[in-house]
Amino acid sequence: LFLGESVTFTCNMTAGYDSNWSYVFHRNGQHIVSKSDVSKFLQLDLTTDLSGRYQCSAYHKDSPGFIKQSNNITLSVAVSNQANVALQHDWSQIYSGEAISMSCEIKGGGNSKWEYEWRTTTSKPPSRERTVHIRASVFSSGDFWCRGRADPFSSTEWSQTCHLRVSDKPRPTVRADKRLIPVGGNVTLTCSVDNPTEWKYYWFRHTGNISEVQTVDEGKSENVISISQGGVYYCQGGRGSPVFFTEESHRITIEKRVSNMASVSLRPDWPVIYSGETITVRCEISGGRNNEWVYEWSKPISDTLPTNEYRIVDASESSSGNYRCLGRNKQDLYSSTEWSDITTVTVSAAPTPVLTVSPSWLSPGASVTLSCEVEHPSAGWRFYWYKAVPDFREHSVQIRWSYSLINDSFNNNRNSAASLTVSPEGQKQTAGFTCRAGRGNPKYFTDYSEPKFVWSAVSHPAASLSVSPDREQHFTSESVTLNCGGNSTEWRVMTPSRIYAWSSLYSYSEKVNGFTTEMIAYRPSTAVYWCESESEGCSNAVNITIHDGDLILVSPVHPVNEGDPVTLGCELRTGNFTSTVGFYKNDKLIQNTVRGELSIPAASASDEGFYRCEHSGKASPQSWVAVKASSSSLPESLIIGLVVGFLLTVLLVIV
Ligand SMILES: *[C@@H]1O[C@H](CO)[C@@H](O)[C@H](O)[C@H]1NC(C)=O
């Protein structure tokens, strides 16, 4: 038997004898004194010194000399050979920081008092306990052996080698079947660590706006969970008692889609805006309340805002772009709507309106229409109309203008339209106009258009432009004098080509002498001229044609009064006419003459038109001959004639 086991010897008499016997046991012939001396049983807990030859004797109680001897039994008490190092858990890998126990197990060691000896390759030999507790670390890696010692002279063999390998704390990995929880759906997360069945799994989540981490699942042996909430997730494995945790896994962010829809709208609703304008971009979310969300914008804003409005103030090129937004739940920032559809905002350079005037000349009974045009006319523009007056004080290349608002175009909707009608009754004189457009709140204005003129042949009370020689057509290199006729040096001769290049009249040489301008033109042109003063306004306007050919028409510069005689002439640059001169009105030959003159005894409205003359295959330019209705409906001579006739009749009656 092995050391530490117990054994019972029984002393039996052969059948046939009565029961009046007492028993004594012997080892190696020595009497064993036992408590139950007379009992037929001897029980022993085995120690090595109990090996030997056992025998029992039976004495008859009535005749003590009567003894019977038993057979011999040899008992040898053996010490076990087999010590073994056992780990508390059959884990395939031990990790740094884990608490483990190692026991020295002796087969058949029973309850006897063993003393344990340990041997190790590590630097720290365990204490002489049967079970040793170790806090695993890299230093615990090594080989271990143990043996048991029963007394100074007997011990087991050394156990087989127990290899203890400690590695660094593991870090699980998390995988998700998808990163986005669809509306009404869920996502499966898997936590992976080596030897998965040895662990329990712990799940954690945080939501970003609350720093606190929530425990989602604790100590499940399944390493998979299904989630329906967005957030940042991570897991840990745990085992043993007290629980040893792995490192935390890396974080995985799971977004959640809500069914609400985001959309971007503009206020005001202008897809094209201009540099400097102010516009509000709004993110609208269907369903739910406004204060439930934080709003995220993609480029060009790239920002998260607590309110749904983004104001583009003083827009510039960089404000152009495709605006998109989404809403995130304030309570759970990982729950969001889809990105809205794109709303494109284009920021353009401020437009300059273009003003057109039709017709350009005022004539009785016909009104003039001015139109102000801006790109994207539908986009909320209102138009403002101004009279443009040149500012001659600054002698810059370009004329500066001062603008005076035409009454009420600010307050009156009718006058803020894109066109303005000028009636000849309301506007008698030549005048410059300009327009600009405005919209929004605060009001944003475009630049002023280039000024445009409505010309009138009617003279200004203070100034009247006269031309010398007094005809509409002139030869190049001939001197033409334009006289403003007023009594102030403030008057300037104006012509459209001068408006934007005041000082350089490269095609002219001119002498400005007070209010008289003498010019010699070297290039052919047809232009309108008038005089203008900052304070007095404009004189009448005249057409002047400069011709580089040999033949010109001699026609009046000013409109002729109805009923007055008019003579049109034809003039050669040099020499005399050698054949007939033809006069044409509106491209139709009306007269052939040798004298080179066409006489109209009394001008009427029907004489108005374009005239030219032709001589030996050469033609003059054509000029407009205007006929002006006289101020009263009856011709003056007729009134005088009637009055004189009446007086003569009275006189005759008296006589
Ligand atoms: C000047 O010429 C234009 C056409 O070219 C004509 O309509 C206008 O009446 C002319 N003005 C005068 C004062 O003749």
Distance, C-alpha 151 to centroid of its chain: 86
Fold of 463-632: Immunoglobulin-like (2.60.40)
Two tokens, residue 578: 């050698």
Nearest ligand 1 atom to the CA of 472 is: 14
Greater pLDDT, 532 or 571: 571
Cβ neighbours of residue 48 closer than 8 Å, sequence gap 6 or more: 3, 77, 79, 150, 151, 154
CATH 3.20.20.70 fits 354-457, yes or no: no
Structure-token match 């009420």, residue found: 408
How far apart are the C-alpha atoms of 203 and 186, rounded to whole Å? 16
Burial state string for 471-507 with b = 16 or more CB within 10 A and e = fewer than 16: bbbbbbeeebebbbbbeeebbbbbbeebbeebeeeee
How far apart are the C-alpha atoms of 91 and 449, rounded to whole Å? 89
Residue 108 pLDDT level (bands cut at 50, 70, 90): low
Per-residue pLDDT at 280 = 92
Residue 381 has pLDDT above 60, yes or no: yes
Residue 354 pLDDT level (bands cut at 50, 70, 90): very high
Residue 637 has pLDDT above 60, yes or no: no
For the Cβ of 467 lying below 6 angstroms from any atom of ligand 1, the answer is no
Pocket test for ligand 1, best of 357, 360, 361 (most atoms within 8 A of CB): 361
How far apart are the C-alpha atoms of 128 and 146, rounded to whole Å? 10
Q: Where in the chain is the domain with CATH 2.60.40.10?
A: 6-75, 82-167, 173-257, 262-348, 354-457, 463-632
Distance, C-alpha 199 to centroid of its chain: 47
Residue 647 has pLDDT above 70, yes or no: no
Average pLDDT score over residue span 285-309: 85
Measure Cα distances from 86 to 104, 157, 162 in Å.
6, 16, 8
Residue 512 pLDDT level (bands cut at 50, 70, 90): low
Four-way CATH pick for 82-167: 3.40.605.10, 2.60.40.10, 1.20.140.10, 3.60.20.10: 2.60.40.10
Pocket test for ligand 1, best of 458, 543, 608 (most atoms within 8 A of CB): 543
Report the nearest-CA residue for atom 4 of ligand 1. 624
Residue 396 pLDDT level (bands cut at 50, 70, 90): low
Burial state string for 308-335 with b = 16 or more CB within 10 A and e = fewer than 16: bebebeebeeebbbebbbbbbbeebbbb
Query: In DSSP terms, which residues pair with 150 in a beta bridge?
Result: none
Instruction: Mark out the alpha helices in 579-621 (DSSP H runs).
Output: none
Per-residue pLDDT at 500 = 53
Per-residue pLDDT at 32 = 86
Nearest ligand 1 atom to the CA of 558 is: 13
User: Is the CB of residue 620 less than 8 Å from the CB of residue 610?
Assistant: no
527-565 pLDDT, tens digit each: 999 988 888 888 999 999 999 999 999 999 999 999 999
User: Is the CB of residue 230 less than 8 Å from the CB of residue 335?
Assistant: yes
Residue 303 has pLDDT above 60, yes or no: yes
Greater pLDDT, 94 or 512: 94
Residue 378 has pLDDT above 80, yes or no: no
Fold of 6-75: Immunoglobulin-like (2.60.40)
Length of the chain: 655
Cα(471) to ligand 1 centroid in Å equals 13
Cα(624) to ligand 1 centroid in Å equals 5
How far apart are the C-alpha atoms of 564 and 35, rounded to whole Å? 174
- Average per-residue pLDDT for the chain: 85
Least confident range of 84-88, 232-236, 287-291, 622-626: 287-291
Cα(427) to ligand 1 centroid in Å equals 17
Per-residue pLDDT at 109 = 63
For the Cβ of 626 lying below 6 angstroms from any atom of ligand 1, the answer is yes
Cα(361) to ligand 1 centroid in Å equals 7
What DSSP state is assigned to residue 319?
A: G
For the Cβ of 475 lying below 6 angstroms from any atom of ligand 1, the answer is no
Nearest ligand 1 atom to the CA of 541 is: 13
3-state SS class at 138: helix
- List, in sequence order, every beta strand (DSSP E) within 110-195: 115-120, 131-135, 142-151, 154-155, 162-164, 166-167, 173-176, 180-181, 187-192
127-186 pLDDT, tens digit each: 889 999 999 998 899 999 999 887 776 778 899 999 999 999 999 999 999 999 999 999
For the Cβ of 543 lying below 6 angstroms from any atom of ligand 1, the answer is yes
Greater pLDDT, 395 or 403: 403
Per-residue pLDDT at 654 = 58
Cα(429) to ligand 1 centroid in Å equals 15
The pTM is what?
A: 0.63
Average pLDDT score over residue span 412-439: 82
3-state SS class at 496: helix
For the Cβ of 454 lying below 6 angstroms from any atom of ligand 1, the answer is no
Per-residue pLDDT at 564 = 95
Residue 411 has pLDDT above 60, yes or no: no
Domain 262-348: which CATH class? mainly beta
For the Cβ of 611 lying below 6 angstroms from any atom of ligand 1, the answer is no
Four-way CATH pick for 173-257: 2.60.40.10, 2.30.40.10, 1.10.1740.10, 2.40.170.20: 2.60.40.10
Amino acid identity, residue 408? Answer: D
Burial (Cβ within 10 Å: 0-12, 13-18, ≥19) of residue 571: buried
How far apart are the C-alpha atoms of 597 and 591, rounded to whole Å? 9
For the Cβ of 625 lying below 6 angstroms from any atom of ligand 1, the answer is no
Burial state string for 138-150 with b = 16 or more CB within 10 A and e = fewer than 16: eebbbebbbbbbb
User: Is the CB of residue 597 less than 8 Å from the CB of residue 635?
Assistant: no
15-34 pLDDT, tens digit each: 777 778 888 899 999 988 76
Cα(430) to ligand 1 centroid in Å equals 13
Amino acid identity, residue 410? Answer: F
Residue 79 has pLDDT above 80, yes or no: no
Report the nearest-CA residue for atom 1 of ligand 1. 543
